[in-house]
Amino acid sequence: MNSFIYDTLPTKRHFRHLVLQPGDGDDALIGELRTAHIDQALDFDAISYVWGSPLQVSEIECAGNSIRLTASLRDVLRSLRLPDKPKCLWADQICINQGDIAERSRQVALMADIYKKSKTTLVYLGKATPEEASNVASLLAEVNDLIRVQMGTLSSWDRVANVAPDDPITVDERWMSIGALTQRPWFDRVWVVQEAGLSSRPVILFGDLIFEWETVFRALKWVQLRATVIAYKFHLNWHGIHMDREEIWCGKEPSGTAAPWSFLDVMHASRQLQATEIRDHLFAFLGHPAASHPDTKQLIITPDYARDIAELHLEFATRYIQWTKNLDILSFVQEAGRLSSSWVPSWAAFDGSVLAQLGEAVYNAGGARVKTLPSFPVGGKGLNIEGVLLDDFHFLSPTFLESDFS
């Protein structure tokens, strides 16, 4: 087959979705790409997955032509298609013309709306052995039943008891399968945070099983708050940014012992996540409520994969200070990934050495009220602020590492 040629989308608010034709097993993948306005009522599921190897080893037939696929998306589509009727899906690798940088940039600006509009977000974690899937399903059911009984109608974590160190559940080998689930690459990718966060109904696909998002993360919250011995014993590991999905994206009050997340906390946490494209550490969070101006709804930056990376970071930092009228962002400057402007944080590298450790922005020059707002030289990269000169630096050492104190 010849390569599929994408039509130009009519407006910035249009997107494509895939109608995946029925099939089974290793049957050839066949689908149809349709175009719709984002405000049009549609019934589709969005896919959240990891591209994996960039090698395109498979294909899907559309209008008699071929769209090349990575092995990861091939497996996702085979897992999701129905045996007897079409299924309407959205997957970035197919629905966005990846060879058109301008279209990619425009569609990234629309990404938040796509995941909000989707009926379900299908979080695909990959294949699992029958034993792994069975272990996860049975253990999640038991832990969630325990939580519901102890919480009662008040739904308060304060009513849930700590697990005794000698409780049989602390040595249950099924936790190894939960550990295998949390160690899937999906949890380490930057884009998936928004994809699951903005969804009205995220569900997790692990092997042949489907779990409601809350079923999985309620159990992990229980381990975090009431059964830490299990996490240590079975090496359960998950990124905290996935635990508080509703607090971060929906503005809900933190529950239990959770602390509120600021927009800069979310950006800082993403430094530890992986992205093939450095710019995605900025673009992947434009669906956050704080990424748009409260009055004009303008995005803090316009996605553009052709723009210089340092310029994008400078624009983000400048806009943040102008919008918030504070200097909190300076608490997040670090040595790693240093850009051309020393006061502008790079969000794509992580070394832990920031003033905002544990999410607390401690840089508070000027106090609670900044009397004189900073200014930015026209065409320059500086930050002009009024202050008090305390001293001069004559020497700056490298960042201290743990090994330096051995």
Q: Is the same domain home to 161 and 90?
A: no
Judge if 83 and 138 occupy the same domain.
Answer: no
Alpha-carbon span 224 to 130, nearest angstrom: 27
In whole angstroms, what separates CA 220 from the centre of its chain?
18
Round to whole Å and give the CA distance between 70 and 75.
Answer: 9
Domain enclosing residue 297, as ranges? 272-406
pLDDT value at residue 372 = 64
* CA dist., res. 282 & res. 339, Å (int): 14
End-to-end CA distance of the chain: 62
Residue 124 lies in a domain: no
Domain boundary (118, 139, 156) is at 118
pLDDT tens, residue by residue, 69-97: 999 999 999 999 999 999 999 999 999 99
Q: Residue 62 forms beta bridges with which residues?
A: 31, 65
- The tally of domains found in the chain comes to 3
**Which pLDDT band holds residue 151 (cuts at 50, 70, 90)?**
very high
396 and 315 in a single domain? The answer is yes
| pLDDT given at position 354 | 74
> What are phi and psi for residue 69, nearest 5 degrees?
-130, 150
Same domain, 75 and 174: no
pLDDT (tens digit, 9 = 90+) per residue, 163-192? 999 999 999 999 999 999 999 999 999 999
Kindly state whether residue 257 falls inside one of the protein's structural domains.
no
Tell me the pLDDT band of 336, cut-offs 50, 70 and 90.
Answer: confident
- If asked whether residues 76 and 147 sit together in one domain, one would say no
Looking at 118, 140, 163, the residue that finishes a domain is: 118
**Is residue 7 domain-resident?**
no
| Contact call for residues 69 and 144 (beta carbons, < 8 A) | no
User: Do 350 and 401 sit in the same domain of this protein?
Assistant: yes
Sheet (strand 120-124) strand order: 65-70, 56-62, 29-37, 14-20, 87-90, 45-48, 120-124, 202-206, 209-212
In a domain, 254, yes or no: no
pLDDT tens string 93-131:
999 999 999 999 999 999 999 999 999 999 999 999 999
| Position 321 in a domain | yes
Same domain, 135 and 245: yes
pLDDT tens for each residue of 251-276:
776 665 556 788 998 999 899 999 99
238 and 113, same domain (yes or no): no
Six-digit token string for 59 = 């294909």
359 with 401, same domain?
yes
The pLDDT assigned to 374 comes to 84
Write down the pLDDT at residue 233.
Answer: 92
Mean pLDDT calculated for residue range 296-307: 95
Task: Give the pLDDT score at 369.
Answer: 56
Q: Are residues 58 and 160 in the same domain?
A: no
Which residue reads 């696929």 in tokens?
69
pTM across the whole model? 0.89
CA–CA distances in Å: residue 134 to residues 160, 178, 208, 210, 375: 26, 11, 10, 12, 59
Residue 258 lies in a domain: no
According to DSSP, residue 133 is labeled H
Asked whether residue 202 is assigned to any structural domain, the reply reads no
In whole angstroms, give the CA distance from residue 147 to residue 160: 7
Residue among 294, 295, 274 nearest 284 (CA): 274
Q: Tell me: do 280 and 406 sit in the same domain.
A: yes
State which of 118, 140, 172 marks the end of a domain: 118
Residue 386 has what pLDDT? 79
User: Would you say how long the chain is, in residues?
Assistant: 406
| 314 touches 355 (CB < 8 A) | no
| Assigned token pair, 84 | 């007897």
Give domain status of residue 255, yes or no. Answer: no
- Only one residue has tokens 């997040």, namely 332
The two three-digit tokens of residue 139, written as one number: 């253990």
341 and 237 within one domain: no
Do 323 and 373 form a contact (C-beta atoms < 8 A)?
Answer: no
Confidence band, pLDDT 50/70/90 cuts, at residue 246: confident
pLDDT recorded at residue 19: 97
Q: What is the pLDDT of residues 205-220, one digit of tens each?
A: 999 899 999 999 999 9
Among 247-251, 318-322, 356-360, which is the least confidently predicted range? Answer: 356-360
